């Protein structure tokens, strides 16, 4: 007879399938089924922070270092609102993180009945996430986690948010078999469109003073060596954005500096005199 698991344990199993090793956050009563599953698990470690904003920032930092979405959580109401500062930072920098919040019982939520700490998390996170949803059914937890990671990593990366009512997290049902990530989302780089590559090459050939602008996407896609090879082969100077800092060594002769207000006169001069900027 199949064993039964809680919604919180199913959520953890879905995260483990995605290779999640750490969850950053502050626990709360509505998260206890999820926390209990983490405590009993040997592969995933919960990192408790002093403030939920720190949890979101740690998840952001993990994402920037590893290239994989960091996961953070906060309890219903004030825990969710405290996450906002860190999530907004990840949104501004296109950093893929997965934000998990519980909510009051589904029969009290959206629209909300009078309940302690109840808050519309969906509207709270909508302006600062790439994708955002409420999980209304235990059976859809895997589907929504899969969608969250797919959205966080595809195209222009960014934070995503899952809001799960507490009764869904504490509901027990028969365990289900989970698919592997490659079965529901693309793994690896997406091939560039040939016609766009040709257009870029033609523009580079025609340019007399081209300039390369390297952003955070170079680091996320592990394309540092490719950037360096292109710059050296074509002998094109490189400027990096703040989020792209480190994509080419600071002592490289083709590196001009960082863009923005910290760049200085040499960067401003290079941008003004360039007849083509390839970003």
Distance from C-alpha of 155 to C-alpha of 137, rounded to nearest angstrom: 28
Q: Note the pLDDT tens digit of each residue in 51-103.
A: 999 999 999 999 999 989 999 999 999 999 999 999 999 999 999 999 999 99
**How many CA atoms within 13 Å lie on the side-chain side of 204?**
17
Residues 32 and 123 in one domain: yes
User: Within a domain: residue 189?
Assistant: no
Closest of 6, 3, 8 to residue 28, by C-alpha: 8
Q: Give Cα 130 to chain centroid, integer Å.
A: 9
pTM of the model: 0.87
CB distance 183 to 121 below 8 Å: no
Report CA Rg, the chain.
Answer: 22
Residue 28's pLDDT is 93
**What residue numbers bound the domain in which 47 lies?**
4-183
User: Is residue 16 helix, strand or coil?
Assistant: helix
Last residue within a domain, chosen from 157, 183, 209: 183
Residue 188's pLDDT is 72
- Assess whether pLDDT exceeds 60 at residue 1: no
Residues 132 and 11 in one domain: yes
User: pLDDT class for 10, splitting at 50, 70, 90?
Assistant: very high
- Assess whether pLDDT exceeds 90 at residue 185: no
Distance from C-alpha of 43 to C-alpha of 95, rounded to nearest angstrom: 24
Residues 216 and 164 in one domain: no
Residues 149 and 27 in one domain: yes
Residues 76 and 211 in one domain: no
User: pLDDT class for 105, splitting at 50, 70, 90?
Assistant: very high
Residues 258 and 120 in one domain: no
Residues 62 and 151 in one domain: yes
Last residue within a domain, chosen from 145, 161, 183: 183
User: pLDDT class for 191, splitting at 50, 70, 90?
Assistant: confident
**Which position has the token pair 């004030």?**
78
Residues 134 and 205 in one domain: no
CB distance 163 to 101 below 8 Å: yes
User: Within a domain: residue 188?
Assistant: no
User: Within a domain: residue 206?
Assistant: yes
- What's the whole-number mean pLDDT along residues 201-224? 90
Residues 141 and 249 in one domain: no
User: Within a domain: residue 233?
Assistant: yes
User: Within a domain: residue 212?
Assistant: yes
Residue 113's pLDDT is 77
Residues 159 and 208 in one domain: no
Cβ count within 10 A of residue 67: 14
Residue 272 sits in a domain of what CATH number? 3.40.50.1220
Residue 192's pLDDT is 82
User: pLDDT class for 247, splitting at 50, 70, 90?
Assistant: very high
CA dihedral 209, 214, 217, 221 (to 10 degrees): 90
Closest of 106, 109, 115 to residue 138, by C-alpha: 106
Residues 115 and 172 in one domain: yes
Q: Note the pLDDT tens digit of each residue in 117-164.
A: 889 999 999 999 999 999 999 999 999 999 999 999 998 999 999 999
**Which position has the token pair 């400027």?**
239
Last residue within a domain, chosen from 160, 183, 206: 183
User: Within a domain: residue 124?
Assistant: yes
- Assess whether pLDDT exceeds 80 at residue 190: no
Residue 12 sits in a domain of what CATH number? 3.40.50.970
Residue 2's pLDDT is 67
Highest mean pLDDT among 48-57, 105-114, 207-216: 48-57
User: Within a domain: residue 248?
Assistant: yes
- Assess whether pLDDT exceeds 70 at residue 172: yes
Residues 147 and 57 in one domain: yes
User: Within a domain: residue 17?
Assistant: yes
- Count of the separate structural domains present in the chain: 2
Residue 87's pLDDT is 99
Q: Note the pLDDT tens digit of each residue in 215-239.
A: 988 988 888 999 999 999 999 999 9
């Amino acid at each position: 007879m199949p064993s039964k698991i809680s919604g919180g344990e199913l959520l953890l199993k879905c995260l483990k399938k995605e290779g999640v090793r750490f969850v950053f956050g502050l626990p709360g009563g509505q998260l206890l089924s999820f926390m209990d599953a983490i405590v009993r698990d040997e592969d995933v470690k919960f990192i408790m922070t002093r403030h939920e904003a720190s949890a979101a920032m740690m998840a952001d930092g993990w994402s920037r270092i590893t290239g994989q979405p960091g996961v953070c959580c906060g309890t219903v109401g004030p825990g969710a609102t405290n996450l906002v500062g860190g999530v907004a930072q990840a949104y501004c920098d296109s950093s893929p993180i997965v934000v998990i919040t519980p909510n009051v019982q589904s029969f009290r939520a959206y629209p909300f009945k009078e309940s302690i700490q109840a808050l519309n998390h969906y509207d709270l996170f909508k302006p600062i996430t790439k994708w955002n949803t409420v999980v209304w059914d235990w059976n859809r937890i895997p589907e929504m986690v899969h969608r969250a990671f797919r959205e966080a990593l595809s195209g222009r990366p960014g934070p995503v948010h899952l809001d799960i009512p507490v009764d869904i997290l504490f509901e027990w049902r028969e365990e289900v078999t989970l698919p592997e990530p490659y079965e529901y989302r693309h793994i690896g780089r997406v091939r560039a469109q040939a016609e766009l590559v040709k257009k870029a090459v033609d523009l580079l050939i025609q340019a007399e003073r081209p300039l390369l602008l390297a952003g955070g996407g170079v680091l996320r896609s592990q394309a540092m060596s490719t950037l360096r090879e292109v710059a050296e082969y074509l002998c094109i100077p490189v400027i990096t954005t703040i989020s792209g800092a480190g994509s080419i060594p600071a002592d490289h002769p083709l590196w001009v500096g960082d863009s923005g207000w910290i760049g200085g006169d040499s960067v401003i001069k290079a941008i003004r005199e360039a007849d083509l900027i390839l970003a």
